[in-house]
Amino acid sequence: MNYLAVDTASESLKVLVCFDGKYGYFQCDDFTAASVRLMPEVDALLRRMGAKVSDMDMFACVTGPGSFTGIRIGMATVKALAYVCEKPTVGVTALELLAYNCKGKDPVVAVSDASNGMRYVAVYDGKMRTLLPPKTLSAEELKDFLAEIEEPYALVADSRTADEINAFCPKDTEKAFAALVEAHAGEAVSGNELQPLYIRKPQAERDLEKKNDTSGK
Give pLDDT tens digits for 121-158: 999 999 999 999 999 999 999 999 999 999 999 999 99
Select from 42, 47, 15 the least CA-distant residue to 28: 15
Q: Where in the chain is the domain with CATH 3.30.420.40?
A: 3-93+172-201
Residue bearing the bigger pLDDT, 33 or 140: 140
H helices present in the chain, as ranges: 34-49, 68-85, 94-99, 139-147, 162-165, 174-183, 203-215
Domain 3-93+172-201 CATH superfamily: ATPase, nucleotide binding domain (3.30.420.40)
State yes or no: pLDDT of 5 exceeds 60.
yes
Half-sphere exposure of 174 (CA within 13 A, CB side): 11
Segment 188-195 shows an average pLDDT of 98
pLDDT at 60: 99
The three-state secondary structure class of 157 is strand
pTM over 0.85? The answer is yes
- The boundaries of every CATH 3.30.420.200 domain in the chain are 95-165
Amino acid at 106: D
Closest CA to 180 of 143, 128, 145: 128
**CA distances from residue 211 to 112, 117, 207 in whole angstroms, order as listed:** 27, 19, 6
Architecture, CATH, for domain 95-165: 2-Layer Sandwich (3.30)
Which whole number is the average pLDDT over 9-35? 92
| Helix, strand, coil percentages, rounded to 5, for the chain | 40, 25, 30
In the prediction, which pLDDT does 68 show? 93
